Amino acid sequence: MGDQALTEIARRLVDAVRPGDTVARLGGDEFGIVLAPAFERDALTAAERVIAAVNQPFTAGAKEMTPTVSVGIATARPATMHPDSLLADADLAMYFAKRSGRGRHAVFTPAMRTALVEQLQLGEELRSALAGDGIEVHYQPIVDLRSGAVVGAEALARWQHPARGFVPPATFIPLAEELGLVQEIDAQVLRRACEQGQRWRAAGITDLRLAVNLSGRNLEDAELVERVMRILRETEFPADQLELELTEGVSIAESARASSLLEELHQRGIRLAIDDFGTGYSALGRLRSLPFDRLKVDKTFVDEINGAGGRSSLLETMVHMAHVLGLEVVAEGVETPAQEEYLRQHGCDFGQGYLFSKPVTAEELSAVLAETQPQAAAQAG
C-alpha cells in the first residue's frame, strides 16, 4: 500500500508541473521538484498546484486515503549555487511549512537558520529543566455549572525559565513533541498532580477530579499504560479520580494500537476527555467507538457567545450531540457571566475559564477550595 501511495503521488506531481520541470523522489516520502528558470511567484503557484493535486483521495487495497504534502521552496541565488545548499535550504523551508500545519508551503529565508538554532538551544534548556525541578504544575478549577461548585482541576505544565522568564506551553509542548521529550513532561506533570491530589484527599477533599493532559505522542508507545499505572500505584491516587485529556481525536480513531491503549486505561477506571474539541478534524461520530467520557469544547466556540448574535449554534449542537453519545461537556475559556449563563441554559455540564479562576498554584487552589470546604483545605496546600 505504501508503494501504491508513492506511485500515485509521483504521478500527481508529474501532472502538476510543466514540461521542462523535473520531479524526483529523494528518498522515503520526500520528493524534489526543480522548476525550469522561474520567478518566485511561479514557484508559489506551483506549490499550491502540487498541494491541491496531492490532497485528493485515492484507494489502495480496500482503504481510502487522502495524502497531504508540505512544500519548502528555495531559489538558487546565484544561479551557480551548489545543489546541496539549495536542497538544504528547501529542506529547512519544508520543515517550517510542516510545523505551520498540514498542506502548507514556506519559502526559505536566512532567518529560518537562526530560528532553528534558537529552537535547538531552547530544546537543550528544556532537557535540563526536566532533569532538574524546572517544570512546575499549576491548577485551573473546573466548575459544575448547575451548582457552582469546584468539582475538579486541570493540571497545566509551567516552565519558569531562569533567564527567559515564563515560557508558555504553546511554545515548549510542540517543541517537546518534536524532540521526543513530551512523554517525560506528561509523566512528571501526572506524578506531581497525583501527589498533590493525595495531599488534598488527606485534607478531606476527597472527591476532586484531576485532569492531566496527555500528548498524542504517548499513544505511540505501548508502555503508556504501565507508566500511568505505576504513578497511580506509587502516589496512591485513585484511578477513578484521574482524567486524561487528549487532543488528537481522528488519529486515535484510525490507529488500532492507540484505541486499544485508551481502552486499557479506561478499563482501569481512568476517565478520558477529548480536549479542544472542534478545532481539529475530529467528527463526533467517528469518536463514538472510543471510550471517552467527556468532551471539552474549545474556547473559540465559547468566544462566539460574545458575538453579535450572542449565541453559538455550533456549541448548542455539540452539547446536544455529546449528550446523545453519553458524554459530559466541559466548556473551555469561559470569561464572562453572560457566557456562563448561556452555557448553563444550554445544558453544558461544566465550565473552566478565567471567570472562575486562572490556572493557579496548588496553595492558591487550596485557598479557593477552603471557601467551599473550609475545614478541609486549610492544611492541604
Which residues in this chain contact Mg ion in the complex, by CB under 5 A? 213, 245, 275-276, 332
Residues 41 and 75 sit within 8 Å (Cβ to Cβ): no
- Span interacting with ligand C2E, options 16-24, 122-130, 182-190, 318-326, rule CB under 6 A: 182-190
Q: Could you tell me the end-to-end alpha-carbon distance of the chain, in angstroms, rounded to an integer?
A: 55
User: With CB under 6 A, what is the number of residues at the site for ligand C2E?
Assistant: 24
Q: Is 379 helix (H, G, I), strand (E, B) or coil?
A: coil
CB atoms within 10 A of CB 149: 13
DSSP sequence for 308-361: TTS--HHHHHHHHHHHHTT-EEEE----SHHHHHHHHHTT--EE-STTT---B-
Applying CB under 6 A, among 32, 103, 169, 238 the residue interacting with ligand C2E is 169
* Other CB atoms within 10 A of residue 318 CB: 23
The interface partner of residue 189, options being ligand C2E, Mg ion, none and the CB cut-off 5 to 8 Å by kind, is: ligand C2E
If contact means CB under 5 to 8 A according to the sort of partner, which of ligand C2E, Mg ion, none does residue 263 touch? Answer: none
- We find the least distance from the C-beta atom of residue 210 to ligand C2E, in angstroms, to be 12
Contact set for ligand C2E, span 349-368 (CB under 6 A)? 352-354, 359
Site for ligand C2E in 67-106 (CB under 6 A): none
String of contacts with ligand C2E for each residue 281-320, x by CB under 6 A: ----------------------------------------
Nearer to ligand C2E, 241 or 339 (CB): 339
- In the bound state with ligand C2E, the residue whose beta carbon lies nearer, of 20 and 310, is 310
Cβ proximity to ligand C2E: between 170 and 308 the closer is 170
In the complex with ligand C2E, the residue whose CB is nearer, 282 or 352, is 352
Q: Does 189 bind ligand C2E (CB under 6 A)?
A: yes
Among residues 156 and 315, whose Cβ is nearest to ligand C2E? Answer: 156
- In one letter, which amino acid is 4? Q
The window from 90-98, 162-170, 259-267, 281-289 that contacts ligand C2E (CB under 6 A) reads: 162-170
For 195-222, b where at least 16 C-beta lie within 10 A, e where not — what string? bbbbebbebebeebbbbbbbbbbbbeee
Residues forming beta bridges with residue 150, ordered by sequence position: 143
**Which of the choices Mg ion, ligand C2E, none does residue 243 contact, using the CB cut-off of 5 to 8 A by kind?**
none
Residues 372, 373, 378: CA angle, nearest 5 degrees? 115
How many Å apart are CA 292 and CA 278, to the nearest integer?
Answer: 15
**Which of 33, 112, 156, 331 is in the footprint of ligand C2E by CB under 6 A?**
156
CB neighbour burial string for 103-134, b if at least 16 within 10 angstroms, e if fewer: bbbbbbeeebeeeeeebeebeebbeebbeeeb
Nearest approach in angstroms of CB 156 to ligand C2E is: 4
Q: Quick one: which H or E segment has residue 302?
A: helix 299-304
Assign residue 332 a region: left if phi > 0, alpha if psi is -120 to 50, beta otherwise?
A: beta
131 phi and psi angles, rounded to 5 deg: -70, -35
Contact positions with ligand C2E (CB under 6 A) in 263-282: 275-276
Sole binder of ligand C2E in the list 47, 157, 210, 362 (CB under 6 A): 157
- Looking at the Cβ atoms of 259 and 336, the one nearer to ligand C2E is 336
Residue 293 CB burial class (10 angstroms; 0-12, 13-18, ≥19): middle
Which part of the chain contacts ligand C2E (CB under 6 A), choosing from 15-23, 179-187, 195-203, 220-228? 179-187
Residues that bind ligand C2E (CB under 6 A): 140, 156-157, 168-170, 173, 182, 185-186, 189, 213, 215, 245, 275-276, 332-335, 352-354, 359
